[in-house]
Structure 1
Amino acid sequence: MKDALEMNMGGIKCDNPNCDFNDMNVNAEDYKEWLNKPCPKCGENLLTEEDYRNTKFLLEMVKVANRIYPKRKDDEEIVTMSVAMNGDGEMDFNIEK
């Protein structure tokens, strides 16, 4: 049996629409090291305080939910959700099937 919720988070990308910088090898555990760091390509902030705070909130929310909800059976349907952030503290949730 598996936890009710799983979070697969990682990588970092520049939010500047005119910049294509991304590093998908960055682990979520290392995000603090990227906080308020300039993009190596365009110089914009790679990880704002708002997005970092939201990331920590989401990780904690998953931990709490897994203490509350029962384990998931191996054959249960999985619903995937993505969360996009762009530096302003807003989160865009998209459910995928």
Structure 2
Amino acid sequence: MAITSQPSADGQELTIQVQGRFDFGAHQEFRNAYERVNVTPRRYVVDLKDATYLDSSALGMLLLLRDHAGGDDAQIRLVNCSPDVRKILAISNFEQLFQIA
């Protein structure tokens, strides 16, 4: 499992890529991906293209990111979701909290 983050050239957007299992074992690495960057982005993108598994811990981590990014004012997109991940997000009503593409 690897989680990486890359700010955009203007520092306004931070893309976080999740590879492998997105579960409690990724907690600290995921937090570091958005807390330990040298920019203060206005928008976040979580790329789940290479995520092979997602559990309730991952949903909690996404909620922590949302709080960090401004709560109700947060601009976070979840992109490249597999059908299984989309189903989990839909069951959890996350489409009301995040933009899912």
TM-score strictly above 0.5: no
The structure that is strand-richer by fraction is 2
Q: TM-score, normalised to structure 2's length?
A: 0.23
TM-score, structure 1 as length reference: 0.24
**Structure with the larger helix share:** 2
